[in-house]
Amino acid sequence: MSGVVLALGMWGTMGASSLAAPVCGDLREGPRGLVVEVVDGDTVVLDSDLKVRLIGMQAPKLALGRVGFEAWPKADIAKQALMELVLGKSVEIRYGGAERDRYGRVLGHMFVGEDDVWVQQAIILAGLARVYSFPDNRFCLGELYLAEARARAERRGIWDGELFYQVRQADKPERILERLDSYELVEGRILNADRVGQRVYLNFGTYWKEDFTVVIERWGLRAFERAGIDPLALEGALVRVRGWVDQRDGPRIEVTHPEQIEVLATR
């Protein structure tokens, strides 16, 4: 039995309260079709030739012919799980944000079967993808975070001791630097929050030239303002932040929207 089938079975027997959240609703109707190909753990092709990128998650990446690119751990398992769930089945795509990306792929949430199984939630619950969001596609992330937290707590899939996906610690910046140009989850306490010009810096150490930092640029601050969130109020909070690691005066992650930051404790 695959991880995703096992997770769905456990979810069904424990009831909806197991995730304490409703299935993603209030989405816009999108295309329907038969899944004829599964490209990787988060991308499929419909019988209409539409390529669909399952928004809200990031599965382990396959090489897919890219020179010098090594497949991420458990990428084959993630693809197989998605195949078992959707290949040869009729599905419906529903939109929550931007509908296409620059490659022409459809961006949507996928639902399959008479039970209207939400594919993103099922795959994340099986521990075969991480929550991954964009500024223009942020719908239903709360439910997906709950699924990811449960998968991580129960050590499913990529969370079963796989070092490649482990949550990094903000007080170990040298270890975060080892993951430069990678998508990472980093936990730590924000020691200082400061606005400099049109940027906000969330500092996780006392020496900003070497310690881990989150930066929110002007365009990201607009998203915080629209959500009614003041990032400066996060000072002292224990958080988990996710995004791509770069380096400028130590390792950093640029945050473009509030959902990239999970508050674990306020003080």
pLDDT 10s digits, 43-93? 999 999 999 999 999 999 999 888 888 999 999 999 999 999 999 999 999
Q: Using CA atoms in the order 52, 216, 164, 152, what is the torsion angle rounded to 10 degrees?
A: -80
| Nearest one of 200, 235, 203, 241 to 221, comparing CA atoms | 200
CA 200 to chain centre: 23
Whether 176 has a pLDDT exceeding 60, the answer reads yes
CA distance 200 to 34: 46
Return the pLDDT at 19.
42
CA 67 to chain centre: 25
pLDDT 10s digits, 190-226? 999 999 999 999 999 999 889 999 999 999 999 999 9
pLDDT 10s digits, 158-169? 999 999 999 999
User: CA 54 → CA 20, 94, 177, 226, distances in Å?
Assistant: 23, 10, 29, 26
Helix or strand (DSSP H, E) at 187: strand 183-189
Residue 108: phi and psi, rounded to 5, are: -165, 170
Domain boundaries, the chain: 3-159, 167-265
- The hierarchical CATH code for the domain 3-159 is 2.40.50.90
Tell me if domain 3-159 and domain 167-265 are identical in fold. yes
Whether 22 has a pLDDT exceeding 80, the answer reads no
Return the pLDDT at 5.
38
- The hierarchical CATH code for the domain 167-265 is 2.40.50.140
CA distance 261 to 229: 11
